[in-house]
Amino acid sequence: EAFSLFDKDGDGQITTKELGTVMRSLGQNPSESELQDMINEVDADNNGTIDFPEFLTMMARKMKDTDSEEEIREAFKVFDRDNNGFISAAELRHVMTSIGEKLT
């Protein structure tokens, strides 16, 4: 289903043009060379396009790159200074101002 969103003409291959269309619809604006690099990363048969097995490889890599639950919990603890499981306005203000954000 996700593959068919990318494969606009239904030929079983995702081209740089099709990849660019999807990326732009998601608010990204990759250059032609960036699109080619994205395809080259998973283009096992070096034909310049992404077929379904290559698409699965690309998606698996993206899923692996997402933060683990433990990493998210550690990041939360930075904000939750009193360890009560909540981030108060004061705790948020402290962290944001300590990283240089101006708050009103």
Are residue 12 and residue 52 in the same domain, yes or no?
yes
Mean pLDDT value across residues 83-98: 83
pLDDT in tens, 49-80: 999 999 888 878 777 766 667 777 877 887 88
Are residue 91 and residue 50 in the same domain, yes or no?
no
Confidence of residue 8 (pLDDT cuts 50, 70, 90): confident
Are residue 17 and residue 59 in the same domain, yes or no?
yes
Least confident of 7-16, 61-70, 82-91: 61-70
Where residue 81 sits, what CATH number does that domain have? 1.10.238.10
> Is the residue at 15 inside a domain?
yes
Are residue 26 and residue 51 in the same domain, yes or no?
yes
Radius of gyration of the chain (CA): 20
Are residue 54 and residue 73 in the same domain, yes or no?
no
Are residue 90 and residue 43 in the same domain, yes or no?
no
Are residue 41 and residue 57 in the same domain, yes or no?
yes
Domain span at residue 91? 69-98
Q: Which of 5, 33, 40, 35 is nearest to 20 (CA)?
A: 35
**CA angle centred on 69, ends 54 and 72, rounded to 5°:** 110
Handedness of CA 50, 26, 28, 22 (dihedral sign): positive
> Is the residue at 103 inside a domain?
no
